[in-house]
Structure 1
Amino acid sequence: MANILVVDDELGIRDLLFEILNDEGHSVDLAENAAQARALRNAQRPDLILLDIWMPDTDGVTLLKEWSSAGLLNMPVIMMSGHATIDTAVEATRIGAMAFLEKPITLQKLLKAVELGLNKTPAKPAPMRMPLPGPQEPSGAVVAPHVVAVEPLLPVGPQGVQSFELDAPLREARDGFEKAYFEFHLAKEGGSMTRVAEKTGLERTHLYRKLKQLGVDLSRGKRNGH
């Protein structure tokens, strides 16, 4: 798969994009400012860069210009922002960015943009695609850097059936059921977050947050699913 560099000063955005892209099988490097982005771009030679526009030291458009002027814009760059104007987005695509993603970034738009970027010949600016208004998701979720728990953590009753403490308060009993439910589907789907999200009818970003909230063990990586 691809080597992707994510440049964003928000920890929650970096962690969320890492989780999604890593779960898709990509190698992901993270930079929180332009200085780190320059170093990682030179060291890792990424196949694609996700670049935030508003950063405290050097903004993304300035960094994009710098790479373009130095002849270093030899990979697709997707700009990201929650506050950019159309003029800013137009300028970025004129310089060489292939697309623009508005925050909060939905799972479908992110994966589609990455797929198009990785299949696109670099150094040819693409027509700008501004996102249409629609339902938005919170973007500040922080999730653990390795996903998949396939062993049930709740007590197991006869014939392998999950048992629950019915004397517990309703919220605790409900959380126990949901935890077992998601662990069951993680095991059944071989640890694939994409398939579990489809099976349970949740957006994958919501699924990540739900698993973290329920205390599902997300530290085992993908060794059981791949």
Structure 2
Amino acid sequence: MTTKQILVVDDEIGIRELLAEILFDEGYQVHLAESAEQARVYRNAREPDLVLLDIWMPVTDGVELLKEWAEQELLTMPVVMMSGHGTIETAVEATRIGAVDFLEKPISLQKLLSTVARAINIEVAHLVEAPKETQKNLTVEIAGVEKQYALPLDMPLRQARDYFDAIYFQYHLQKEDENISRMAEKIGVERTHLYRKLKQLGIKLTKRAVPDSH
């Protein structure tokens, strides 16, 4: 099995060295960058399997670097943001741009390892058609309009779960007219988790969703 490559981007040497030591002991190959500029050089040369990216850095912060990679179509690997002073607005913005998770400093060992393991194996789930001979239809009414969805009962469990999740979130997204705050409250999840799930499922908002100011 190929060793997974992780790029750690943080301007604090103590954080870089600590994360590198922990991740190396877990069998990962770790590369370090103390600034956005060093991270750019690394990313232009190769694609890591995961990036741990600090938000608050001098000159260019982590969110700006994330935007830059997204605009240049270089955001092809999972990125986990890190911060000791993160806000929900910052987390939502980073998730909207393309980050897959958020770690709050000080980072516990268990949280670090579980987040890295989950993020490094993330696959964007796309809707797929179930084989016609095994399809069962689900009829859902949204705003007075009936829509039919195929239920893939003979798919492997993980694939079927992703398919159902996409239908579920698309249903509530349309029902709440893409109001993320209202939808999050209705289905009982945090907004940051909701943005992350929509991103994971490849569901794009047709309207620009703006987080509440309060």
Higher strand share: 2
| C-alpha distance in structure 1 between counterparts of 2:5 and 2:95, whole Å | 22
**What are the superposed Cα offsets for residues 176-220 of structure 1, whole Å, 9 maximum, x if unpaired?**
xxxxxxxxxxxxxxxxxxxxxxxxxxxxxxxxxxxxxxxxxxxxx
Alignment correspondent of 1:128: 192
Q: Secondary structure at the match of 1:57?
A: coil
| C-alpha distance in structure 2 between counterparts of 1:95 and 1:12, whole Å | 28
TM-score w.r.t. the length of structure 2 is 0.57
Greater Cα offset, 61-70 or 36-45: 36-45
The one-letter code of the counterpart of 1:93 is T
Equivalent of 2:57, from 42, 55, 58?
A: 55
CA contact (8 A) 2:88 2:192 kept: no
Alignment correspondent of 1:113: 115
| C-alpha distance in structure 1 between counterparts of 2:83 and 2:93, whole Å | 14
Alignment correspondent of 1:195: none
Identity percentage of aligned residues: 66
Give the superposition deviation at 1:122: 5.7
CA contact (8 A) 2:54 2:81 kept: yes
* Count of aligned pairs between the two proteins: 128
Equivalent of 1:67, from 53, 58, 69?
A: 69
Give the superposition deviation at 1:44: 3.0
Q: Secondary structure at the match of 1:6?
A: strand
Alignment correspondent of 1:4: 6
Q: Identify the structure with bigger relative contact order (alpha carbons < 8 Å, sequence gap 6+).
A: 1
| C-alpha distance in structure 2 between counterparts of 1:3 and 1:123, whole Å | 23
Give the superposition deviation at 1:60: 0.2
| C-alpha distance in structure 1 between counterparts of 2:39 and 2:47, whole Å | 11
Moved beyond 2 Å, runs of 4+: none
The one-letter code of the counterpart of 1:44 is R
The unaligned stretches of length 5 or more in structure 2 are 127-190, 194-214
Superposition CA RMSD, Å: 1.9
